[in-house]
Structure 1
Amino acid sequence: MSVEEAIPGEFEGIVHTAPSYFRIFVAAVSPDGELEYKDQKSENGPFYNYFTRLTQSAYATDRLNASVTQEGYVALLAQDAQSANLIYLHESNTPDAANRFADPEDLGKPDGVTGFTDTALINGLTGRQNIFATSSAAGNALWWKYQNVNRIEQKTITVVPPGTDTPIEITVPVEVPPDRPWSDWLQIPGALCSLAPVQNADGRIIMFGMDSDAVPYMNFQSSDHPFLPEKWEGWQDIRGGLTGFEQLVGCIDGNALVHVFARIGSRIYMKVQEEVSSNTFSEWVLFGSFSAPVHTMTVAVSSNDGLYLAAQVGSGPNSPVYGSYQTGGADRNWSALRIIAHVKSDSTLVLQSNADENLSLFALDSSSGNAFYLNQLSLDHWSAVWNSLGDNPLSAIALTQDITPNPH
């Protein structure tokens, strides 16, 4: 369906309910473009044996994003293989809905854009979804689209004041869905090839990314008129004297400080927010140095409210995965980097928290397309055996948490 046909109930404001579930949700795109998903069978438990196909459409196989709505429902962003339009999918919040997911919403693409180099889906200042996309055309223009907030209308209602039997009419402000669920596509000044946004403690989005020359930048959503593309604070070149940037990943820790990590050859560097919600960060510090190039890395919040970073070092069969964790949510000390696992081949790595706050490490083998996961037993210990996510090859995966009950 088009965005104009989106269910108004999706925009009813923040719903405060206690989670009935907290399970890991895995979305994936197959080499044939099939969009699939599976959940854990129970909290902290194994996954279902099969993937469920979400729609009959075919999707681009090189990108997929996952998040949660402000009500806690799973949200996905995929790219239609035929039209190259971006497609937003989310779990239905309609009671007794026939299907677990609502109909896909076709968000189109910006005028003049025919493809993308990267996309991102992240909760923003209002708790609603923000989408970022970089054009694959020369110049790598950066585009932004977000869910609009509810409107306030004056409504006249009839009430009976206490102590009287006489009804009277009063006018009160009432929150109603927006006229249009989504904003237009807005171009943010600047150009990036890769995106690594992080939500700040105050709800604003911090955009980290790299341009076509592998120069890393940082930009903050403004606290004044934050939904105007020209009101972002401005791009900061964050090279800090380093060169050869290959990957940026960011995360906010349990003490509400944003960290960003950079992969450069055989080294990983770290930069930390100076104060909660501050626009300033420390200089780069060396986080780890290895005897071989770092292939990829991932970061997530661990069970002690600190961060956990995992990285594949080297390339090829039996490459080691190193892990290190922040010793406390408010502590800048980290455990020593040590080998926690080995992967069968070069892999995409993703860390995702379980209901008990222990992490699971997911690895998508780039040569075979097979996906596996490894469970953390404690901060210092991981299971010795990888578990398979299934026999069917996958091209892209995205993970989030499923904290809403569903019968499907």
Structure 2
Amino acid sequence: MSVEQAASEEFEGNVTADPSYFRIFFAATTPGGVLEYKDQTQENGGFAADFTQLTQTVFKPAPLNASVTQEGYVALLAADGASGNLVYIRESRNQDAPERFAPPQDLGKPDGVPDFLDTVLINGVTGRQNVFVTSSAAGNAIWWKFQNVNTVKMETITVVPPGTDTPVEITVPVEIPPSQPWADWQQLPGALCSITATQNADGRIILAGINADSVPYMNMQSSDRPLLPEGWLGWKDIAGGLTGFEQLVCGIDGNALVHIFARIGSKIYIMSQQEVSSEQFSSWALFASFNAPVQTMTVSVSSNNGLYLAAQVGSGADSPVYAKYQTGGADDNWSAPQVIAHVANDSALLLQPNADTSLSLFALETGTGDAAVLNQLTLAHWSATWTPLGGPLSAIALTQDVTPNPS
């Protein structure tokens, strides 16, 4: 289904029904290109035993992103296995719909982009979805696409004022869906291999990424023209004298300050926003140092409203996962690094909050494709054993499911 054929229900305004529950939504692609998912069977509980195939479309094993729409519905981004086009899939807003998910929307891909090195799906300043991609072609161009906002027109309607039987005509502003649901692909200046994003406290998007020379950059939407390429402040080299950047992750804490974490060899560094929604960040500070290279890391908001970072250190079977978190909830005080788990083998890691704000740590083994989850018991303590989730899987993505649905 093309974007032009997409149902307009997504653009009809916000849903007012209260959510009936809050569950973690676990999406995955298999090496054969099957897109599937499973939910927690109840709030803060375990997951369904089996996966449900989401659509008959065959997708590429990666990329895969998950998010929520402005109304709280699950949304996914994957790449079509045949065309390579990005595909956007969201839950249907109609609770009586025969299928839980609306028909996939083909977002295409930018001209001259054979494949994607990295993709991001995130809500923007309007509350609607934004997609960012980096190209595998020479030059590693950065492209951007977003859901268009509704337009407003004046419409004359007839009403009967309270206390009278006489109808009168009044002219009122009425929201109507955009003629084109998604904007065209727009190229942002610059070149990156990996890209990550978070929202500023005021809703503007902050992008961070690393180029082919392992140099990190950051960019932020300006407030005056957020839906145009010129509405960005421009890429800023944030290396700060460090070299060899391997990964960036970012998050916003309970004080609404954005933090960026960098992985370089056996060390993790941190830089923090100086004021809420400010363009200014601190210099890099050493966050943690280990006796082996850091393989990967992930960050999330924790139960005390502060940030929580987890990282696999070392490589191979039984490698430790270290954690470090803001002890005051949203201040500059952090716990000492501590081992919270061991992974079966090298793994991609993702943290996701539960309904009760405790965290779940998800691990996808890069060798076998087996996925597992570990549950947090208290801020500093985790379960002793992982719960298998299935496999083999090629990519996983997590988000929150806060809307009623039948399954």
Matches of 1:291 and 1:338 in 2, distance apart?
13
| Contact kept in structure 2, 1:270 and 1:284, CA below 8 Å | yes
Give unmatched runs, 5+ long, in structure 2.
none
The residue that corresponds to 2:215 in the other structure is 215
The Cα shift of 1:254 comes to: 1.3
* Residue identity opposite 2:359 in structure 1: L
The Cα shift of 1:330 comes to: 2.7
The residue that corresponds to 1:397 in the other structure is 396
C-alpha RMSD over aligned residues: 0.9
* Residue identity opposite 1:258 in structure 2: V
Matches of 2:162 and 2:32 in 1, distance apart?
65
The residue that corresponds to 1:92 in the other structure is 92
Secondary structure, counterpart of 1:240 in structure 2: coil
Matches of 1:250 and 1:212 in 2, distance apart?
20
The residue that corresponds to 1:290 in the other structure is 290
1:239-388 alignment to 2 at 5 Å?
A: 239-388=239-388
Cα distance change, pair 22–218 in 1 and its aligned pair in 2 (3 A): same
Q: C-alpha deviations, 1:218-259, integer Å up to 9, x for none?
A: 001110111111221011100000001000000111111101
* Residue identity opposite 2:48 in structure 1: Y
The Cα shift of 1:57 comes to: 1.4
Matches of 2:6 and 2:70 in 1, distance apart?
16
The Cα shift of 1:18 comes to: 2.6
The residue that corresponds to 1:73 in the other structure is 73
Matches of 2:244 and 2:220 in 1, distance apart?
24
1:6-21 alignment to 2 at 5 Å?
A: 6-21=6-21
* Residue identity opposite 2:227 in structure 1: F
| Contact kept in structure 2, 1:189 and 1:230, CA below 8 Å | no
Matches of 2:367 and 2:326 in 1, distance apart?
32
Fraction of identical pairs, as percent: 69
The residue that corresponds to 1:407 in the other structure is 406
Matches of 1:179 and 1:12 in 2, distance apart?
13
Matches of 1:154 and 1:89 in 2, distance apart?
32
| Contact kept in structure 1, 2:112 and 2:137, CA below 8 Å | no
Q: C-alpha deviations, 1:270-324, integer Å up to 9, x for none?
A: 0000011001100000000000000000000000000100000000000000011
The residue that corresponds to 2:40 in the other structure is 40
Matches of 1:320 and 1:28 in 2, distance apart?
24
Matches of 2:16 and 2:119 in 1, distance apart?
29
Matches of 1:46 and 1:166 in 2, distance apart?
59
Matches of 1:97 and 1:34 in 2, distance apart?
23
Q: C-alpha deviations, 1:172-216, integer Å up to 9, x for none?
A: 101111111100001111111111111110000000001111110
Alignment of 1:194 onto 2:229: no
* Residue identity opposite 1:364 in structure 2: L
The residue that corresponds to 1:111 in the other structure is 111
The Cα shift of 1:165 comes to: 2.1
| Contact kept in structure 1, 2:307 and 2:330, CA below 8 Å | no
The residue that corresponds to 1:156 in the other structure is 156
The Cα shift of 1:13 comes to: 2.3
Cα distance change, pair 277–16 in 1 and its aligned pair in 2 (3 A): farther
Q: TM-score, normalised by structure 2?
A: 0.99
The Cα shift of 1:160 comes to: 1.8
Q: Which moved more, 1:164-173 or 1:12-21?
A: 12-21
Matches of 1:95 and 1:309 in 2, distance apart?
37
- The alignment of Structure 1 onto Structure 2 pairs a total of residues equal to 407
Matches of 2:329 and 2:379 in 1, distance apart?
13
Matches of 1:80 and 1:217 in 2, distance apart?
29
| Contact kept in structure 1, 2:62 and 2:78, CA below 8 Å | no
Matches of 2:238 and 2:369 in 1, distance apart?
34
Which runs of 4 or more aligned residues in structure 1 lie more than 4 Å from their structure 2 counterparts after TM superposition? none
